[in-house]
Amino acid sequence: MREFYENLQKKLLKSLKIVRSYDWLLNSYVLDFYVKDHWSKFPGSWQQVLENVMPEDLCYILDFNNNIATLQTWPLSLLTLRVLFKELCIKREENEIRVTFLKSIYHFSPLLQHPKLKEIFVKGVKRKKRHELEFMASTCVEMCQNVAVDFIVDFGAGVGHLARVLGFGCGIKVCCIEMQDQLNKQAEEIDKKMMALINKYLPPKQAKTCQTPTHVNLCITPATAPEAFLQKIQKSLKLRKDDYKFGIVGLHSCGDLAAVLIQMFLHCKQAKFINLVGCCYMKLSAKDTANETDQGYPLSQYLSQRSLSFLSYEAREISCHAIEMYKQRLAGNNYDYLKIHSFRAAAERIIAKHYPELRHSGLKSIKHCGNIQFEEAVTGLPLATIPAENLLTAITQKDLSRWRQIVIYYTLRLFFGPLIESIILYDRILFLVENGCIVDIRAVFEATISPRNHIIIAGKR
């Protein structure tokens, strides 16, 4: 365990030193590309080579495992980064043997495969969520087989899709924590309909193995005392003693909620394991001074003592992008789509000149289609009040012609995304290890479907 701990420390330190060397890139905005001349900040060797690279060739820089011969002509410093990232970043590819194992657990449930019932579990559930339900449920079943618990607490349960798969499909008691009471009421209605169907189609003996989820209206914050949380659980589940054991599940715990759940896990003696998937890292409360407390990042004592550990909002935001999906767009020669960032950046130069108080304004969402024009792409900004001759100037036309440079710039920012995410996840793992836990992290979801595809799994010794 000590070797594992020290190896994590080394990876974190090396990763953060790289980040500090490229702060300007990570902390910049794509819409400022022309206003602040981001292209000029790249090393000359990068500009010279990348200027002539086609967008479809850029996808290889986002794939650390693909050894393409054409990359050998790229700048040595960029290739070196690619090698380092392969060493430092948490793998994003799922293990095929493990995926097969998890699928076998999920498909072992007779109820989940019942011809009259199986579709009810995923009715109205989108493909991404279905994928996550299958693999998170299987991971929970595996943990329950390895660690004896009386029930699972699902934080941020929504309308209870995961809880029904575990409760009705796998016979695991689940207590759902959800802050929105309306979602709890919806969940309870769906549970009743599900139970009615189970009683209709299953023999009584098999129906009795199903566990109806318990739904609790509760908002978990950093200020929530573990004692208050446990009292709420005990009352809701009608537990008379405190000798129960449970596991914690957080499926895409947004921002600081992931850190809150880790703290709750550590401070509740009854909590025996945690399965955690994080998201929205930009919403984390990031510590940037030695006196700050109760932060979402960094958690570990090791990083909290190091000033170089700070990650800006912009850096954390870039780690939340769907990198594999963007790589597919690069490879697909969809140039019209790739030009959107150039339109916005060109508009920002105009805004900076005519409406400086509206810098970094949000755009009205538009549905992408082929051959979209500049005027359409900037819908929602106050450009309509500017005469056409001041809108489509020679400078604007030149900016729009440089769209490939923006694609390169944006791709290189995405290139650092897995490193930033790995730093945040390593920090959480390190914090759990510092508190005596046995920890594993697995790329369980398929990244092209669910980009935040890692599950941190921890148990107490």
What residue ranges of the chain are covered by domains with CATH 3.40.50?
A: 97-319
391: pLDDT strictly greater than 90: no
- pLDDT at res. 74: 84
> What pLDDT, in 10s, does the model give residues 76-112?
899 899 999 999 999 998 888 778 888 888 877 888 8
Name 8's Cβ contacts closer than 8 Å, sequence gap at least 6: 426, 429, 430, 433
Chain mean pLDDT for the chain: 89
Q: Give phi and psi for 361, each to the nearest 5.
A: -70, 150
- Distances in Å between the Cα of 66 and the Cα atoms of 41, 61, 90, 158 are 27, 9, 16, 39
Q: What is the DSSP string of 394-438?
A: HHHHHHHHTHHHHHHHHHHHHHTHHHHHHHHHHHHHHHHHHTTEE
122: pLDDT strictly greater than 50: yes
**C-beta separation of 248 from 136 below 8 A:** no
384: pLDDT strictly greater than 70: no
Average pLDDT value for residue range 170-190: 96
418: pLDDT strictly greater than 80: yes
- Distances in Å between the Cα of 396 and the Cα atoms of 38, 268, 325, 344 are 16, 59, 29, 11
364: pLDDT strictly greater than 80: no
Average pLDDT value for residue range 41-68: 85
Q: For domain 97-319, which architecture applies?
A: 3-Layer(aba) Sandwich (3.40)
Q: How confident is the model at residue 64 (pLDDT cuts 50, 70, 90)?
A: confident
Q: How confident is the model at residue 184 (pLDDT cuts 50, 70, 90)?
A: very high
- pLDDT at res. 337: 77
425 or 61, which is more confident: 425
